[in-house]
Amino acid sequence: MKPSVEIHINGEKKVYPAGVTPRDILRDNGIEDSRDMVAADLNGHAVDLSTPLTESGPLNFISVRSAKGLEILRHSTSHVMAQAVQELFPDVKITIGPAVEEGFYYDFDTPRPFTPEDLELIESRMREIVKGELPFRRIVMPRNEAIGFFQEKSETYKVELLDQIESEEVSLYAQGGFTDLCRGPHIPDTGYIRAFKLTKLAGAYWRGDERNPMLQRVYGTAFPSHEDLKHYLHVLEEAKKRDHRKLGRELDLFSVSDDVGPGLVIWHPKGALLRHLIEEFERREHLKRGYQFVIGPQILKKDLWERSGHFDNYREQMYFTTVDGVDYGIKPMNCLAHMQVYKSKIRSYRELPLRFFELGTVLRHEKSGVLHGLLRVRQFTQDDAHILCTPEQLNDEIIGIVKFVRDVMEIFGFDYTMELSTRPEKSIGTDEDWDRATTALEKALQDLGAAYEINEGDGAFYGPKIDIKLKDALSRSWQCATIQCDFTLPERFDLTYVDSDGERKRPVMIHRVVLGAIERFLGVLVEHYAGAFPLWLSPAQAVVMTITERQNPYAREVVERLKAHGVRVEVDLRNEKIGFKIREARGQKIPYMVIIGDKEMESGTIAIRKRGEDSTAGMPVETFLKQFDQEVENRS
């Protein structure tokens, strides 16, 4: 009797001869053998459509429209790109080429950097490979044999990777004359690639280590359809226009200077005012929710960082200094000082929960290659809070934070998604404490009826966390808010409270930020609004301008009335044409232009032009101020 496998598909169990492929089953079940199905999932493991099946279990097909299917498509496209590169530039050595969130990249060791013209050549060759419908063939061989295979090709990076693989067998994938070390799975053939684009060039160190060779990274993306690709490229173009670094210069918000140092932001007057407005908003919102303000020092003794576990688990991102022969760590986080506030006296259960809030400036040693405007810096300020509560209060506190974040995201017009990040490989604390903390976060999300995904192994080293990722006007995802549940640091720092039974017990600590790093949030905000901030946030809310110098005295009176009312107002009394003044105000994205000519001066009124509109409306100053107040109050 021939061996067989029992496959569960579409709610049915079917028996097939062992060695049947998912593609055979696809056809047998009347599922159209279109290029929408790119792979299959058997017993939770993704496999090629051409894989001979030798085990029973549930089989599900992976559509290119799914997240997994899109990842497979993009990773396969990266292999096609590497094939095209090696055919065009035979001296190039290949390294790694993964799929990433918005596409894929491949790193190459090349004698000379690629140029934009090279990208056009590579794309052209890729199109030829796609038309050839070359099958992706999986090849399984002993690891030592694979090492020999790549040694013959002088692919030293692949040999280095193989040297670190413990498995006795490895898989390779080949299409045409190109072969790469890869786990797979892949699309059946190159013809499944419908729409792709190489997007940019960058430098990257091998394995991210500055001591290793600098490689040439080629980025690209692929989509199931040309319409999807067209939409994505449109978003990319719009993103260039919204780039906060570009708008930061044009709106005179901030700068980063090589003379000062990379990753260190210099705030100009308008940017500092914008930051002040955000920080004042934060202070008001925290006071409304029962937080107390605290401030910790910038440096704390190294002993404390050793005790907390930061020295063992985080020191590569920390700066250290020595004062009077004593070693100090410059704080990358604010939690240690907040625990010292808690420990400053004996605490009763009646005081809990205690919510300590600080707009705390921290420094982290980010690698120069990842620094990016306001989005990745070395010095930044967090809207950091630590809540110390009883285990019984934990659920309500987590729910309260999620609601806080929800309210704030609504004010700024952000959608968001949530992830529950679990214990990483490098961590401190007992299994029991991690289980308690993870369960607490999960229960709060379930009680809220919130949708969330599990992000395995991405928690903080001291506890699991809820990551809240906001989506901006271009539907791009940004990590800002986070909620971390921590049973470990209260134990290490012997934090206690006296319970109702007179016994000393251990509180739970929640680490949380709402906006996250102020710098990063402002970078996201600039791009979200394309620099056109809502009235309540605009550094300059109105600009008063005159048609001729004759109206200047009246314009100054109007300016003083607006200032007295609290309007952040600029004045343009230059001897320039009004059209020129209007164009400049538009470029600065100021919400209101207050235009004054002879008619307004004689009637004691003003002419108002709103941002984005071409018409003006005449009105008394008081009418404008009422309209202004209502818009500010609504935060519209």
Q: How does pLDDT run across 89-121, given as a tens digit for each residue?
A: 999 999 999 999 889 999 999 999 999 999 999
Residue 462 identity (one-letter amino acid): Y
Enclosing H/E stretch for 416: strand 415-421
CATH architecture of 4-63: Roll (3.10)
Share of the chain above pLDDT 90, in %: 83
Mean pLDDT of 140-164: 94
Catalytic site includes residue 75: no
- pLDDT band at 515; cut points 50, 70, 90: very high
386 is catalytic: yes
Look at residue 630 and tell me whether its pLDDT is greater than 90: yes
Question: With pLDDT > 70 as the criterion, what percentage of the chain qualifies?
Answer: 99
User: CA-to-CA distance for 198 and 188, rounded, in angstroms?
Assistant: 22
- Mean pLDDT value of segment 195-209: 91
CATH T-level fold of 68-241: Threonyl-tRNA Synthetase; Chain A, domain 2 (3.30.980)
- The position carrying tokens 């003044």 is 581
| pLDDT score, position 32 | 66
Task: Return the residue matching tokens 């680490």.
Answer: 511
Q: Which among 79, 158, 242, 364 is annotated as catalytic?
A: 364
Would residue 384 show up in a list of annotated catalytic residues for this protein? yes
Interatomic CA distance for residues 608 and 78, integer angstroms = 54
| Residue of 242, 310, 386, 528 with catalytic role | 386
- Measured in whole angstroms, the distance separating CA 156 from the mean position of its chain's CA atoms is 33
Read off φ and ψ for residue 222, nearest 5 degrees.
Answer: -145, 150
Residue 146 has pLDDT above 60, yes or no: yes
Residue 59 phi/psi, 5-degree rounding, is -120, 125
Rounded distance between C-alpha atoms, residue 328 and residue 334, angstroms:
15
Does the structure show a pLDDT above 80 at 31?
no
CATH topology classification for 269-293+331-529: BirA Bifunctional Protein; domain 2 (3.30.930)
Tokens of 83: 């094939």
Q: Contact, 265 vs 374, CB < 8 A? A: yes
As a whole number of angstroms, the distance between CA 607 and CA 614 comes to 12
Q: Which amino acid is at 463?
A: G
What angle in degrees, to the nearest 10, is found between the helix axes of 394-412 and 269-288?
A: 140
Least confident of 303-307, 342-346, 479-483: 479-483
Task: Say what the pLDDT of residue 462 is.
Answer: 83
pLDDT in tens, 220-229: 999 999 999 9
Q: Per the structure block, which two tokens stand in for 247?
A: 């708008």
Place of tokens 């290949």: 94
Instruction: Answer with the residue of higher pLDDT: 208 or 443.
Output: 443
Assign 62 a pLDDT band (cuts: 50, 70, 90). very high
Please give the Cα distance from 32 to 37 (Å, whole number).
9
Q: In whole angstroms, what is the distance from residue 570 CA to residue 576 CA?
A: 16
Read off the pLDDT of each residue in 415-441 and give the average, rounded to a whole number. Answer: 89
pLDDT tens-digit profile of 268-278?
999 999 999 99
Catalytic residue among 384, 433, 467, 572: 384
Predicted confidence band of residue 472 (pLDDT cuts 50, 70, 90): confident
Cα distances (angstroms) measured from residue 339 to each of 345, 455, 491, 557, 592: 11, 28, 11, 53, 47
Catalytic one of 180, 182, 335, 480: 335
Q: Please report which confidence band the pLDDT of residue 1 belongs to, taking 50, 70 and 90 as the band edges.
A: low
Complete edge-to-edge strand list for the sheet that includes strand 178-181: 137-142, 169-175, 178-181
Cα–Cα distance measured from residue 266 to residue 256, given in angstroms and rounded to the nearest whole number: 6
Residue with tokens 């519209």: 636
The pLDDT mean for the chain works out to 93
Cα distances from 607 to residues 519, 577, 581, 604, 631, in angstroms, run 36, 16, 14, 10, 18
| Annotated catalytic residue 446 | no
Confirm if 300 and 327 have CB atoms less than 8 A apart. no
Please check whether residue 623 is in contact with residue 561, taking contact to mean a CB–CB distance below 8 angstroms.
Answer: no
| Pairwise pLDDT comparison (195 vs 458), residue with the higher score | 195
| 484, β-bridge pairs | 465, 511
Q: Nearest to residue 495, comparing CAs of 393, 345, 351, 385?
A: 345
Single out the catalytic residue among 216, 382, 393, 588.
Answer: 382
Average pLDDT over residues 170-179: 95
Amino acid sitting at position 537: L
**Residue 567 clears pLDDT 80, i.e. is over it:** yes
Look-up of token digits 């410059």: 330
CATH superfamily to which 542-634 belongs: Anticodon-binding domain (3.40.50.800)
- Rounded to an integer, the average pLDDT of 551-569 is 97
Per the annotation, the verdict on 175 as an active-site residue is no
- Whether cis (ω within 30° of 0) applies to the bond prior to 3 is no
pLDDT given for residue 339 in this prediction: 96
Both structure tokens of 329: 């760590």
Please enumerate in sequence order all residues whose Cβ is within 8 A of that of 389, keeping only pairs 6 or more positions apart, or say none.
Answer: 352, 353, 354, 397, 507, 508, 510
Structure confidence at residue 368 (pLDDT): 82
CA distances in angstroms from 220 to 102, 442, 495, listed in the order given: 9, 36, 51
> pLDDT for 603-615, tens place per residue?
999 999 999 999 9
From 555, 527, 529, select the one nearest 543 (Cα to Cα).
555
| Catalytic residue chosen out of the listed positions 270, 286, 355, 511 | 511
Strands 265-267 and 254-256: antiparallel
Residues forming beta bridges with residue 41, ordered by sequence position: 46, 60
* Cβ–Cβ < 8 Å for 153, 91: no
Pairing of strands 415-421, 453-455: parallel
Q: Which residues contact 49 (CB under 8 A, 6 or more apart)?
A: 21, 22, 23, 26, 37, 38, 39, 40, 188
| Closest of 492, 509, 512 to residue 312, by C-alpha | 492
Catalytic residue among 242, 347, 465, 609: 465
**pTM to 2 decimals?**
0.82
Q: Where do the domains of the chain lie?
A: 4-63, 68-241, 269-293+331-529, 542-634
Of 143 and 101, the structure prediction assigns the larger pLDDT to 143
Beta-ladder partners of 481: 468
Asked if residue 482 has pLDDT above 60, the reply is yes
Q: What is the pLDDT of residues 277-310, one digit of tens each?
A: 999 999 999 999 999 999 999 999 999 999 999 9
Residue 33: pLDDT band by 50, 70, 90 thresholds?
low
